[in-house]
Homo-oligomer: A and B are copies of this chain.
Amino acid sequence: MKSDLDLLIQERGFDAIVVMGSAHENPAMAYITGGAKISSAFILKKPGETALLICSSMERDEAAKSGLRIATFDDYHFLDHVRASGNRFEAFIRLYVEVFQRNNVSGTVSFYGLGSPGTSYLLLKRLQELLPGVTITGETETTIFDRAYATKDTNELIQIRDVAARTNRVMAETVDFLKSHRARANRLIRGNGSPLTIGEVRQFINRRLMEQGLEASEGIIFAMGRDGGVPHSRGEDDQVLETGRAIVFDLFPRQIGGGYFHDMTRTFSLGYATPEVEHAYRQVMQAFDAVVNDLSAGERGEHYQELTCDIFEEQGHPTIRSKPGTTDGYIHNLGHGLGLEIHSRPRLAMASDEVLEPGQVFTVEPGLYYPEKGFGIRVEDTYVVEADGTFTSLTPYPKDLVIPIQDAE
Protein backbone atom coordinates (compact mmCIF):
# COMPACT_ATOMS: atom_id res chain seq x y z
CA MET A 1 0.00 0.00 0.00
CA LYS A 2 0.95 3.64 -0.29
CA SER A 3 2.77 3.68 3.05
CA ASP A 4 5.06 0.92 1.74
CA LEU A 5 6.54 3.16 -0.98
CA ASP A 6 9.48 4.39 1.09
CA LEU A 7 10.45 0.84 1.96
CA LEU A 8 9.99 -0.36 -1.63
CA ILE A 9 12.22 2.46 -2.91
CA GLN A 10 14.95 1.42 -0.48
CA GLU A 11 14.55 -2.32 -1.15
CA ARG A 12 15.20 -1.74 -4.84
CA GLY A 13 18.30 0.27 -4.00
CA PHE A 14 16.95 3.56 -5.27
CA ASP A 15 17.97 6.85 -3.65
CA ALA A 16 15.02 8.73 -5.13
CA ILE A 17 12.21 8.33 -7.62
CA VAL A 18 10.76 10.76 -10.14
CA VAL A 19 7.19 10.70 -11.49
CA MET A 20 6.52 12.71 -14.66
CA GLY A 21 3.61 13.77 -16.82
CA SER A 22 0.03 14.90 -16.43
CA ALA A 23 -2.01 13.57 -13.49
CA HIS A 24 -4.63 12.66 -16.08
CA GLU A 25 -4.69 8.91 -16.89
CA ASN A 26 -1.37 8.58 -15.06
CA PRO A 27 -1.92 6.21 -12.13
CA ALA A 28 1.49 6.70 -10.51
CA MET A 29 0.92 10.47 -10.47
CA ALA A 30 -2.68 10.12 -9.26
CA TYR A 31 -1.53 7.71 -6.53
CA ILE A 32 1.06 10.12 -5.09
CA THR A 33 -0.98 13.29 -5.50
CA GLY A 34 -4.21 11.68 -4.25
CA GLY A 35 -6.03 12.65 -7.44
CA ALA A 36 -5.26 16.41 -7.70
CA LYS A 37 -5.99 17.52 -11.30
CA ILE A 38 -2.60 18.77 -12.50
CA SER A 39 -1.92 19.03 -16.21
CA SER A 40 1.85 18.82 -16.10
CA ALA A 41 4.04 17.99 -13.13
CA PHE A 42 7.31 16.57 -11.95
CA ILE A 43 7.48 14.78 -8.62
CA LEU A 44 10.70 14.03 -6.77
CA LYS A 45 10.49 11.66 -3.83
CA LYS A 46 13.23 10.46 -1.54
CA PRO A 47 12.48 7.79 1.05
CA GLY A 48 11.48 9.30 4.39
CA GLU A 49 10.69 12.72 2.90
CA THR A 50 7.40 14.21 1.74
CA ALA A 51 7.41 14.27 -2.05
CA LEU A 52 8.17 17.54 -3.84
CA LEU A 53 5.66 18.43 -6.57
CA ILE A 54 6.78 20.97 -9.18
CA CYS A 55 4.03 22.39 -11.39
CA SER A 56 2.95 25.48 -13.29
CA SER A 57 2.18 28.48 -11.09
CA MET A 58 -1.29 28.42 -12.67
CA GLU A 59 -1.95 25.08 -10.98
CA ARG A 60 -0.67 25.90 -7.52
CA ASP A 61 -4.13 25.84 -5.88
CA GLU A 62 -5.00 22.45 -7.33
CA ALA A 63 -1.52 21.12 -6.46
CA ALA A 64 -1.90 22.22 -2.85
CA LYS A 65 -4.76 19.70 -2.45
CA SER A 66 -2.21 16.89 -2.73
CA GLY A 67 -0.69 17.71 0.66
CA LEU A 68 2.79 17.44 -0.89
CA ARG A 69 5.52 20.09 -0.82
CA ILE A 70 4.81 22.42 -3.76
CA ALA A 71 7.14 24.40 -5.97
CA THR A 72 6.51 25.99 -9.35
CA PHE A 73 8.46 25.78 -12.59
CA ASP A 74 9.17 29.49 -12.01
CA ASP A 75 10.83 28.65 -8.69
CA TYR A 76 13.26 26.58 -10.74
CA HIS A 77 13.79 29.33 -13.32
CA PHE A 78 12.05 27.66 -16.22
CA LEU A 79 11.72 30.85 -18.28
CA ASP A 80 15.39 31.70 -17.69
CA HIS A 81 16.28 28.23 -18.92
CA VAL A 82 14.10 28.76 -22.03
CA ARG A 83 15.86 32.05 -22.72
CA ALA A 84 19.34 30.63 -22.14
CA SER A 85 18.83 27.44 -24.15
CA GLY A 86 16.45 28.64 -26.83
CA ASN A 87 14.13 25.63 -26.61
CA ARG A 88 11.69 24.11 -24.18
CA PHE A 89 13.08 20.58 -24.22
CA GLU A 90 16.55 21.77 -23.26
CA ALA A 91 14.97 24.15 -20.73
CA PHE A 92 13.18 21.23 -19.03
CA ILE A 93 16.42 19.28 -18.89
CA ARG A 94 18.16 22.23 -17.22
CA LEU A 95 15.22 22.59 -14.85
CA TYR A 96 15.53 18.90 -13.89
CA VAL A 97 19.26 19.32 -13.35
CA GLU A 98 18.54 22.30 -11.07
CA VAL A 99 15.91 20.30 -9.18
CA PHE A 100 18.37 17.45 -8.65
CA GLN A 101 21.18 19.76 -7.55
CA ARG A 102 19.17 21.97 -5.19
CA ASN A 103 17.58 18.90 -3.59
CA ASN A 104 20.92 17.07 -3.23
CA VAL A 105 19.88 14.07 -5.30
CA SER A 106 22.62 11.50 -5.88
CA GLY A 107 22.87 7.75 -6.38
CA THR A 108 20.26 5.79 -8.34
CA VAL A 109 17.06 7.52 -9.46
CA SER A 110 14.22 5.56 -11.04
CA PHE A 111 11.69 7.26 -13.34
CA TYR A 112 7.92 6.64 -13.58
CA GLY A 113 4.81 8.28 -14.97
CA LEU A 114 3.81 8.83 -18.54
CA GLY A 115 5.52 10.11 -21.66
CA SER A 116 6.27 9.48 -25.31
CA PRO A 117 8.83 6.63 -25.45
CA GLY A 118 11.18 8.33 -27.94
CA THR A 119 11.11 11.64 -26.08
CA SER A 120 11.69 9.94 -22.73
CA TYR A 121 14.65 8.08 -24.21
CA LEU A 122 16.30 11.28 -25.46
CA LEU A 123 15.47 13.20 -22.27
CA LEU A 124 16.85 10.63 -19.84
CA LYS A 125 19.89 9.92 -22.02
CA ARG A 126 20.71 13.64 -21.96
CA LEU A 127 20.00 13.96 -18.24
CA GLN A 128 22.33 11.02 -17.62
CA GLU A 129 25.09 12.83 -19.53
CA LEU A 130 24.61 16.00 -17.49
CA LEU A 131 24.41 14.23 -14.12
CA PRO A 132 27.39 11.85 -13.99
CA GLY A 133 26.93 11.42 -10.23
CA VAL A 134 23.44 10.00 -10.71
CA THR A 135 22.44 6.66 -12.22
CA ILE A 136 19.20 7.03 -14.15
CA THR A 137 17.03 3.96 -14.47
CA GLY A 138 13.51 2.59 -14.61
CA GLU A 139 11.78 -0.70 -13.89
CA THR A 140 10.91 -3.36 -16.40
CA GLU A 141 8.90 -5.97 -14.53
CA THR A 142 6.82 -5.54 -11.38
CA THR A 143 7.54 -1.95 -10.32
CA ILE A 144 7.46 -0.46 -6.84
CA PHE A 145 4.12 1.09 -7.83
CA ASP A 146 2.75 -2.28 -8.95
CA ARG A 147 3.85 -3.65 -5.58
CA ALA A 148 2.34 -0.75 -3.65
CA TYR A 149 -0.91 -0.77 -5.66
CA ALA A 150 -1.40 -4.50 -5.05
CA THR A 151 -2.48 -4.03 -1.43
CA LYS A 152 -5.01 -1.37 -0.51
CA ASP A 153 -5.17 0.73 2.63
CA THR A 154 -8.37 1.44 4.57
CA ASN A 155 -9.17 4.61 2.67
CA GLU A 156 -8.77 2.84 -0.66
CA LEU A 157 -10.91 -0.13 0.43
CA ILE A 158 -13.74 2.19 1.46
CA GLN A 159 -13.75 3.66 -2.04
CA ILE A 160 -13.38 0.25 -3.72
CA ARG A 161 -16.34 -1.25 -1.79
CA ASP A 162 -18.41 1.78 -2.67
CA VAL A 163 -17.61 1.54 -6.40
CA ALA A 164 -18.41 -2.19 -6.27
CA ALA A 165 -21.83 -1.59 -4.68
CA ARG A 166 -22.66 1.05 -7.28
CA THR A 167 -21.55 -1.18 -10.16
CA ASN A 168 -23.70 -4.07 -8.90
CA ARG A 169 -26.62 -1.63 -8.77
CA VAL A 170 -26.10 -0.66 -12.42
CA MET A 171 -25.95 -4.36 -13.36
CA ALA A 172 -29.30 -4.91 -11.59
CA GLU A 173 -30.85 -1.86 -13.23
CA THR A 174 -29.69 -3.06 -16.65
CA VAL A 175 -31.25 -6.49 -16.15
CA ASP A 176 -34.51 -4.81 -15.05
CA PHE A 177 -34.32 -2.66 -18.17
CA LEU A 178 -33.91 -5.73 -20.39
CA LYS A 179 -36.78 -7.50 -18.59
CA SER A 180 -39.06 -4.53 -19.23
CA HIS A 181 -39.02 -5.39 -22.95
CA ARG A 182 -41.05 -7.98 -24.85
CA ALA A 183 -39.99 -10.51 -27.48
CA ARG A 184 -41.49 -10.73 -30.96
CA ALA A 185 -40.12 -13.21 -33.52
CA ASN A 186 -37.02 -13.74 -31.33
CA ARG A 187 -36.20 -10.03 -31.17
CA LEU A 188 -36.58 -7.68 -28.21
CA ILE A 189 -38.93 -4.77 -28.88
CA ARG A 190 -39.62 -1.54 -27.09
CA GLY A 191 -43.03 -0.18 -26.04
CA ASN A 192 -43.51 1.44 -29.44
CA GLY A 193 -42.76 -1.85 -31.23
CA SER A 194 -39.33 -0.84 -32.56
CA PRO A 195 -36.46 -3.28 -31.98
CA LEU A 196 -34.05 -2.76 -29.05
CA THR A 197 -30.41 -2.44 -30.11
CA ILE A 198 -27.18 -2.99 -28.20
CA GLY A 199 -26.41 0.71 -28.71
CA GLU A 200 -29.56 1.64 -26.80
CA VAL A 201 -28.66 -0.73 -23.98
CA ARG A 202 -25.19 0.80 -23.83
CA GLN A 203 -26.70 4.30 -23.59
CA PHE A 204 -28.92 3.13 -20.75
CA ILE A 205 -25.90 1.67 -18.93
CA ASN A 206 -23.85 4.85 -19.42
CA ARG A 207 -26.66 7.00 -18.00
CA ARG A 208 -27.04 4.74 -14.98
CA LEU A 209 -23.27 4.72 -14.40
CA MET A 210 -23.22 8.50 -14.39
CA GLU A 211 -26.04 8.65 -11.88
CA GLN A 212 -23.89 6.42 -9.67
CA GLY A 213 -20.87 8.71 -10.09
CA LEU A 214 -19.13 6.17 -12.34
CA GLU A 215 -17.80 6.21 -15.90
CA ALA A 216 -16.98 3.47 -18.40
CA SER A 217 -13.59 5.00 -19.19
CA GLU A 218 -12.39 1.72 -20.72
CA GLY A 219 -15.69 0.98 -22.44
CA ILE A 220 -18.35 -1.65 -21.85
CA ILE A 221 -18.48 -5.14 -23.33
CA PHE A 222 -22.03 -6.10 -24.27
CA ALA A 223 -21.36 -8.72 -26.90
CA MET A 224 -23.90 -11.14 -28.33
CA GLY A 225 -23.33 -14.47 -30.07
CA ARG A 226 -20.07 -14.74 -32.00
CA ASP A 227 -18.92 -11.34 -30.68
CA GLY A 228 -19.12 -12.73 -27.13
CA GLY A 229 -16.83 -15.53 -28.31
CA VAL A 230 -14.04 -13.03 -29.02
CA PRO A 231 -13.10 -11.77 -25.55
CA HIS A 232 -12.07 -8.25 -26.53
CA SER A 233 -14.93 -7.55 -28.93
CA ARG A 234 -17.16 -4.84 -27.44
CA GLY A 235 -20.36 -5.81 -29.28
CA GLU A 236 -21.94 -3.98 -32.20
CA ASP A 237 -24.25 -1.06 -31.42
CA ASP A 238 -26.58 -1.57 -34.37
CA GLN A 239 -27.30 -5.22 -33.50
CA VAL A 240 -30.82 -5.99 -32.26
CA LEU A 241 -31.09 -8.04 -29.06
CA GLU A 242 -32.29 -11.56 -29.76
CA THR A 243 -33.64 -14.27 -27.49
CA GLY A 244 -31.77 -17.52 -27.00
CA ARG A 245 -28.30 -16.10 -27.67
CA ALA A 246 -25.52 -15.79 -25.10
CA ILE A 247 -24.65 -12.19 -24.20
CA VAL A 248 -21.37 -11.46 -22.42
CA PHE A 249 -21.86 -8.31 -20.31
CA ASP A 250 -18.56 -7.16 -18.80
CA LEU A 251 -18.91 -3.99 -16.74
CA PHE A 252 -15.71 -2.31 -15.50
CA PRO A 253 -16.35 1.33 -14.62
CA ARG A 254 -14.38 3.62 -12.35
CA GLN A 255 -15.06 6.73 -10.29
CA ILE A 256 -15.82 9.67 -12.60
CA GLY A 257 -12.78 11.70 -13.60
CA GLY A 258 -10.32 8.92 -12.76
CA GLY A 259 -10.31 6.71 -9.68
CA TYR A 260 -10.93 3.17 -8.47
CA PHE A 261 -12.38 0.48 -10.72
CA HIS A 262 -14.79 -2.39 -10.23
CA ASP A 263 -14.89 -5.30 -12.66
CA MET A 264 -17.71 -7.83 -13.10
CA THR A 265 -19.08 -10.01 -15.89
CA ARG A 266 -22.33 -11.87 -16.28
CA THR A 267 -23.42 -13.97 -19.24
CA PHE A 268 -27.11 -13.76 -20.05
CA SER A 269 -29.43 -15.47 -22.47
CA LEU A 270 -32.74 -13.67 -23.03
CA GLY A 271 -35.95 -15.70 -22.71
CA TYR A 272 -34.27 -19.10 -22.90
CA ALA A 273 -30.85 -20.66 -23.43
CA THR A 274 -29.88 -23.26 -26.00
CA PRO A 275 -28.78 -26.62 -24.53
CA GLU A 276 -25.26 -26.01 -25.90
CA VAL A 277 -24.92 -22.64 -24.10
CA GLU A 278 -26.53 -23.99 -20.94
CA HIS A 279 -24.08 -26.88 -20.85
CA ALA A 280 -21.05 -24.63 -21.39
CA TYR A 281 -22.38 -22.18 -18.78
CA ARG A 282 -22.55 -24.97 -16.19
CA GLN A 283 -18.98 -25.91 -17.05
CA VAL A 284 -17.78 -22.33 -16.55
CA MET A 285 -19.59 -22.16 -13.20
CA GLN A 286 -17.94 -25.45 -12.21
CA ALA A 287 -14.53 -23.84 -12.78
CA PHE A 288 -15.62 -20.63 -11.06
CA ASP A 289 -16.87 -22.45 -7.95
CA ALA A 290 -13.81 -24.68 -7.78
CA VAL A 291 -11.49 -21.66 -7.82
CA VAL A 292 -13.51 -19.73 -5.26
CA ASN A 293 -13.67 -22.72 -2.90
CA ASP A 294 -9.92 -23.09 -3.20
CA LEU A 295 -8.96 -19.41 -2.59
CA SER A 296 -6.38 -19.26 0.15
CA ALA A 297 -4.08 -16.49 1.40
CA GLY A 298 -0.45 -17.43 0.81
CA GLU A 299 -1.23 -19.38 -2.40
CA ARG A 300 0.39 -18.30 -5.68
CA GLY A 301 -1.72 -16.67 -8.38
CA GLU A 302 -0.44 -19.18 -10.95
CA HIS A 303 -2.01 -22.04 -8.99
CA TYR A 304 -5.53 -20.81 -9.83
CA GLN A 305 -4.80 -20.55 -13.54
CA GLU A 306 -3.47 -24.11 -13.43
CA LEU A 307 -6.54 -25.29 -11.55
CA THR A 308 -8.82 -23.65 -14.10
CA CYS A 309 -6.94 -25.24 -17.01
CA ASP A 310 -7.15 -28.63 -15.23
CA ILE A 311 -10.93 -28.35 -15.01
CA PHE A 312 -11.55 -27.09 -18.54
CA GLU A 313 -9.18 -29.66 -20.06
CA GLU A 314 -10.89 -32.44 -18.09
CA GLN A 315 -14.20 -31.21 -19.54
CA GLY A 316 -12.65 -31.66 -22.99
CA HIS A 317 -11.93 -28.02 -23.88
CA PRO A 318 -8.71 -26.72 -25.39
CA THR A 319 -6.91 -24.17 -23.17
CA ILE A 320 -4.00 -21.81 -23.77
CA ARG A 321 -1.99 -24.31 -21.71
CA SER A 322 -2.85 -27.41 -23.74
CA LYS A 323 -2.94 -25.55 -27.08
CA PRO A 324 -1.07 -22.24 -27.02
CA GLY A 325 -2.58 -19.66 -29.36
CA THR A 326 -6.00 -21.35 -29.42
CA THR A 327 -8.99 -19.11 -30.08
CA ASP A 328 -11.42 -21.85 -28.95
CA GLY A 329 -12.01 -22.99 -25.38
CA TYR A 330 -10.34 -21.27 -22.43
CA ILE A 331 -8.10 -18.68 -23.99
CA HIS A 332 -7.06 -16.15 -21.32
CA ASN A 333 -5.80 -15.94 -17.79
CA LEU A 334 -8.05 -16.32 -14.77
CA GLY A 335 -7.85 -12.92 -13.11
CA HIS A 336 -6.04 -9.72 -12.29
CA GLY A 337 -5.72 -7.18 -9.53
CA LEU A 338 -7.41 -3.83 -9.97
CA GLY A 339 -7.41 -0.41 -8.34
CA LEU A 340 -6.55 2.88 -10.04
CA GLU A 341 -5.73 0.68 -13.04
CA ILE A 342 -8.13 -1.89 -14.43
CA HIS A 343 -5.30 -4.43 -14.78
CA SER A 344 -2.73 -4.62 -12.00
CA ARG A 345 -1.38 -7.07 -9.45
CA PRO A 346 -1.83 -9.80 -8.37
CA ARG A 347 -2.16 -11.74 -11.62
CA LEU A 348 -3.94 -15.11 -11.43
CA ALA A 349 -2.05 -16.15 -14.50
CA MET A 350 0.54 -18.45 -16.01
CA ALA A 351 4.05 -17.63 -14.77
CA SER A 352 2.76 -15.48 -11.92
CA ASP A 353 4.61 -16.09 -8.68
CA GLU A 354 2.59 -13.42 -6.90
CA VAL A 355 0.96 -14.62 -3.71
CA LEU A 356 -2.55 -13.83 -2.46
CA GLU A 357 -2.42 -11.65 0.66
CA PRO A 358 -4.62 -9.34 2.78
CA GLY A 359 -5.51 -6.00 1.21
CA GLN A 360 -5.50 -7.34 -2.35
CA VAL A 361 -8.43 -6.87 -4.70
CA PHE A 362 -8.60 -9.12 -7.77
CA THR A 363 -10.94 -10.73 -10.27
CA VAL A 364 -11.86 -14.38 -10.85
CA GLU A 365 -13.13 -14.70 -14.43
CA PRO A 366 -13.13 -18.09 -16.12
CA GLY A 367 -14.73 -18.32 -19.55
CA LEU A 368 -15.27 -20.51 -22.60
CA TYR A 369 -15.17 -19.15 -26.15
CA TYR A 370 -16.43 -20.73 -29.35
CA PRO A 371 -16.71 -17.94 -31.92
CA GLU A 372 -17.37 -20.43 -34.78
CA LYS A 373 -20.26 -21.93 -32.80
CA GLY A 374 -21.52 -18.40 -32.20
CA PHE A 375 -21.06 -17.99 -28.46
CA GLY A 376 -18.81 -17.05 -25.59
CA ILE A 377 -19.37 -17.30 -21.83
CA ARG A 378 -17.61 -15.52 -18.99
CA VAL A 379 -18.47 -15.06 -15.32
CA GLU A 380 -16.47 -12.65 -13.20
CA ASP A 381 -16.52 -11.44 -9.60
CA THR A 382 -14.07 -9.14 -7.86
CA TYR A 383 -12.72 -10.42 -4.54
CA VAL A 384 -11.03 -8.66 -1.65
CA VAL A 385 -8.67 -10.45 0.72
CA GLU A 386 -9.68 -9.41 4.23
CA ALA A 387 -7.22 -8.70 7.04
CA ASP A 388 -7.88 -12.18 8.51
CA GLY A 389 -7.04 -13.88 5.20
CA THR A 390 -10.63 -14.69 4.25
CA PHE A 391 -12.05 -13.75 0.85
CA THR A 392 -15.14 -11.61 0.24
CA SER A 393 -16.84 -11.18 -3.10
CA LEU A 394 -17.56 -7.53 -3.88
CA THR A 395 -19.89 -8.73 -6.64
CA PRO A 396 -22.96 -10.25 -4.98
CA TYR A 397 -25.18 -9.83 -8.05
CA PRO A 398 -26.81 -13.23 -8.87
CA LYS A 399 -25.45 -15.53 -11.57
CA ASP A 400 -28.55 -16.61 -13.48
CA LEU A 401 -27.99 -17.38 -17.13
CA VAL A 402 -31.55 -16.88 -18.35
CA ILE A 403 -33.34 -13.52 -18.09
CA PRO A 404 -37.08 -14.20 -18.44
CA ILE A 405 -38.65 -12.18 -21.26
CA GLN A 406 -42.38 -12.07 -21.95
CA ASP A 407 -43.66 -12.48 -25.48
CA ALA A 408 -45.40 -9.52 -27.08
CA GLU A 409 -49.25 -9.77 -27.20
Q: Which residues of A contact B (CB under 8 A)?
A: 20-21, 24-25, 28, 37, 39, 56-62, 74, 79, 82, 87-89, 110-125, 136-141, 143, 206-207, 210, 215, 217-219, 227, 230-234, 256-257, 324-325, 327, 331-332, 351
Contact = CB atoms under 8 A, between A and B. Distances in A.
A62 B233 contact: yes
A114 to B, nearest CB: 6
Contact of A121 (B21, B120, B230): B120
Given A61-B232, A79-B324, A118 B125 contact: no
A232 B39 contact: yes
Contacts of A58: 230-232, 331-332
A234 B37 contact: yes
Contact of A206 (B59, B61, B256): B256
A119 B136 contact: no
A138 B119 contact: yes
Nearest to A62: B232
Contacts of A39: 232
A392 B331 CA distance: 52
Nearest to A320: B79
Contacts of A111: 116-118, 121
Nearest to A60: B230
A115 B117 contact: yes
Given A87-B141, A117-B123, A119-B139, 12 more contacts: A56-B232, A57-B327, A58-B231, A89-B141, A113-B116, A113-B117, A118-B124, A118-B137, A118-B139, A121-B138, A206-B256, A207-B210
Contact of A74 (B25, B141, B325): B325
Contacts of A227: 61
Contacts of A57: 325, 327
Given A25-B25, A58-B230, A231-B58, A118 B112 contact: yes
A143 B286 CA distance: 53
